[in-house]
Structure 1
């Protein structure tokens, strides 16, 4: 077999192996996405009930004050930036980092703190000297509350201690498996607690409404962190599923192109051989 044909066949086999890998990764990402979506659906009733209870307390006892509700002059800002631990998800990570850099542009590094979720973002911010106040990496493919609770509590406690005066989440919001939208969402202070959920339910609090509010409000803020991580993880799996699907399609197109090249090379070789045979026969006459 001529060298050119061997090279083409080698490339075809290599591309087929790559297509098998990307197809498998696409299927795995789709399975993980379904599991994360189930986790999101399971967590929504809990978050809704917390919102309902907080709204009820706020309406019945408007005199209650809490550091997480306090609006202060903004001297320092906190940013919770959620990226992935891995790549192979198209522009998922670079998109979030780019949005974060747009938020940081023109600001002195002493005026904000970054809390990084995900290895890609964490490594980038450390490498380029951004002020990282906390981090968590290795979040499971289907996040649990325990996997992010330490960072969530750290962020909430830092706001309550007035280490910064507002908190923003920067992450990819899940729209559908093929669409993820980067968002910058202001979370703290929790200025909309009293209006975020309407309910006529009457609650009895033990020992009193103030004590319940004191315990419930930080947990609610921590749950918002967990919800954002769930949303971002669903976006990651959706982005990876799309990227691997596109890679598989590209591999199939390349295989078709290489197969056509191989057939043409074979045809040219056969034609050359026929010409040589005919030429040899003519020479013997």
Structure 2
């Protein structure tokens, strides 16, 4: 983690503020990246970088105030001001923009944040693109002035004016790759309606899913030379940590990607909200904070 200065705090919409974080020699990043933000000691949250990747001395994040919530967004809104400081991680990217000649972008509410740098990149590279941006009401939709420069490439569709985003029509209108971010109902609908292979999503919260009861299994940490038993109600991450195998972690709910680990042997039971269906079927990597094992044993490259 590094300490950065809060150079600016701006109200972008109702219940949405942005923070410009300044520092010398900030690491480079690509569209789709996010950082961990230490909201206060012991509380870390993930936020997408939504500024210009070409600016090496400043990052921008945007925060939706969530009431009720776990308190992180409220603290940033109420207690952090311009001139203060925050501790942040290196950028990580679980939502990279793959080169293409055309794109369809779909945003719901604060899900616009990771898409903003993607629009800038697509525009710079001369790609054909359209953004469909939904939200409950226009006054709750951030960055509308910033987006207005793109003209009719951006379709602003507040729910109280237009209803829910017409996803079936959107997906049928183009065969381009789709990048989608927003609340879980939007992402679940997109996964159901979008043709296979076209959709890429990013979740801010764990995927809505029901899993069967956990079973105990064995984990071999190949690089560390340790073997542990993971109980039905335990996580791989916690058991390894107790055994002295320290691993990086942040969200502990399968959304940030910090604890992604290579699988050398065995079949993971994926319970994260990051990996694509193809990556899950491949079984070469897993998030050890939430995922488990379908096989009696896993051998991990740790």
Which structure: larger Rg?
Answer: 1
Q: Which has the higher strand share?
A: 2
**Same fold by TM-score greater than 0.5:** no
Q: Which has the higher helix share?
A: 1
| TM-score range normalised by the length of the shorter chain | under 0.3
Relative contact order, higher structure (CA 8 A, sep 6+): 1
Q: With the length of structure 2 as denominator, give the TM-score of the two structures.
A: 0.25
Q: With the length of structure 1 as denominator, give the TM-score of the two structures.
A: 0.26
